[in-house]
Structure 1
Amino acid sequence: MALFLLMIAAHILGDFYIQKDNWVTCRNNHHFASWGLGKHVLSHVVLLFIAIGLAGFLTAQGWIAIVVIGFSHLLIDVWKSYQPNKLSYFLLDQLFHIVIIALAALALSGIGLAEIKTQLYLLLNVKYLAITCAYVIACRPVSIAITIALDNYTAQLADKQTGLASAGRWIGYIERCLIISFVLIGQFAGVGFLLAAKTIFRFGDLTKEKDMKLTEYMMLGTLLSFSCALLLGWWVNKL
């Protein structure tokens, strides 16, 4: 685990702290022929050398791991340079890097398939599955359910400004995940703070509008969102 964490720390330092904006611009413009990409990969190789050395794995296999990760990082970043600047591609890029680092760490640590299976089985118990289900349900499914529940009222507010596209949906995702987290760790004060904070931010808009329909609509949406999240958190705790 120490080896993996050191390698991840090296990756984070190389990708988010040492890499400069002009290196990224150069990579996106020139792809394989980018000097910025060359500097970026070289910095990763140096950081990996330090991380693997600190973990005590700087053997022949350690050097092979450095070369493999460095080369894979080059290929992944070249692929990313052809993609649009969207969150999905950013997350996919990071996932590729982390999977390769994890595989290299497993190979260096000498952990076999039997041990990996044992650890995976430990994660597949009721507690972790219930927590995963709660967070997954709290996002898209609950969002769709609330949209359907408020459909009749939404039609009455068709002439109102809706703000940023999809912003309300993402606010709902985040607030419900936070509420579930607060419930699971027993910090119910956090739920009250979140509700108070949301009320304060909404209060100015509602006062400005002076529209009872909009106020009631906002209250319904908020109360439904909070109720669903609290029920999911309670369900996980009961399990």
Structure 2
Amino acid sequence: MTLFLLMIVAHVLGDFYLQKNQWVACRNTHHYASWGLCKHVLSHLVLLVIAVWLAGDLSAKAWIAIVLIGFSHLLIDIWKSYQADKLIYFLLDQLFHVLIIALAAWVLSGADIEQIKNQLLSLLTVKYLAIGCAYVIACRPVSIAISIALDQYTVQLKDKQTGLASAGCWIGYLERCLIISFVLIGQFAGVGFLLAAKTIFRFGDLTKEKDMKLTEYMMLGTLLSFSCALILGWWVNRL
């Protein structure tokens, strides 16, 4: 685990702190013929060597792993250079990098398949499954349920919907996930802070509109969202 974490730190430093904007622009323009990409991969290799050295394993197998990680990083970044600048490609890019680092760390650690299997099975307990279910349910399912519950009021406010498309859904996802997190760690003050912060940000809109329907609609949506998240958090704690 120490080696894996050190390699992740090296990856984060190389990808997000040492990589210059000029290198990224060069990569996106020249793709595999980019000098910026070469510099980026070389910086990654140096950081990986330092990470493996700190972990105390600079064996021949470790050097091979470093070279393979660097080569895979080059291929992944070349693929990324042909993709649009969208969140999905950014997440896929990082996922590929982390999976390869995890595979290399696993091989270097000498762990066998049975040990990896036991570690994965240890996560499939009621506790972790319940936590995962709570977060999954809190996003899309609860959002749809609240939308259906407020549907009869939404039609009365069609002319008031001037916000960013889908922003309301994402705000709901984040607030419910935060509330569940606060409940699970016993920080109920965080729930109060979140409600107060949302109220402050909404206060200007509500007073500007001076519309009782809109005020009641926002209050109802917020209370439904908070209630669902609190119930889910309570349910996980009970389990």
2:89 and 2:99 map into 1 onto residues whose CA distance is 15
One-letter identity of the residue aligned with 1:69: I
Q: Partner residue of 1:53?
A: 53
- Give aligned pairs, total: 239
CA offsets, 1:75-132, max 9 Å, x none? 1001111111111111111010000000000000101100001101110000000000
Runs of 4+ in 1 over 3 A off after TM superposition: none
Which residue is equivalent to 1:37? Answer: 37
Instruction: State the partner residue of 1:197.
Output: 197
> Which residue identity lines up with residue 194 of structure 1 in the other structure?
L
By how many angstroms is 1:165 displaced?
1.1
Q: Does 1:165 align with 2:165?
A: yes
Letter in structure 2 aligned against 1:171:
I
Following TM superposition, by how much is the alpha carbon of 1:147 offset from its aligned partner in structure 2, in angstroms? 0.9
Counterpart of 1:216 in structure 2: which amino acid?
A: E
**1:187 and 2:187 matched:** yes
Q: Which residue identity does 2:12 align to in structure 1?
A: I
Equivalent residue number for residue 222 of structure 2: 222
Tell me how far apart the structure 2 counterparts of residues 162 and 237 of structure 1 sit (CA, whole Å): 38
User: 1:142-179, CA deviations, whole angstroms, 9 ceiling, x for partnerless residues?
Assistant: 11111111111111111113311111111101100000
Aligned residues: percent identity? Answer: 81
Could you tell me how far apart the structure 2 residues matched to 1:90 and 1:171 are?
A: 21
In the alignment, which residue of structure 1 is the partner of 2:105?
105
**CA–CA distance in structure 2, aligned partners of residues 223 and 62 of structure 1:** 54
Counterpart in the other structure of 1:155? 155
Q: Partner letter of residue 15 of structure 2?
A: D
1:10-59 per-position Cα deviation (integer Å, ceiling 9, x unaligned): 00000000000111011111110111100000000010011111111111
Residue segments in structure 1 that go unaligned for 5+ positions in a row: none
- In structure 2, give the amino acid aligned to 1:119: Q
Number of the residue aligned with 1:134: 134
Give, in whole Å, the separation in 2 of the partners of 1:225 and 1:213. Answer: 18
| CA distance in structure 2 between the partners assigned to 1:152 and 1:93 by the alignment | 42
Tell me which residue corresponds to 2:64.
64
Cα deviations by residue, 1:179-210 (Å, 9 ceiling, x for unpaired): 00010011111111110110011010000000
Alpha-carbon separation, structure 1, partners of 2:151 and 2:77 = 44
TM-score (norm 2): 0.99
Q: RMSD over aligned Cα, in angstroms? A: 0.7
Gaps of 5+ in 2: none
Residue 233 (structure 1) aligns with: 233
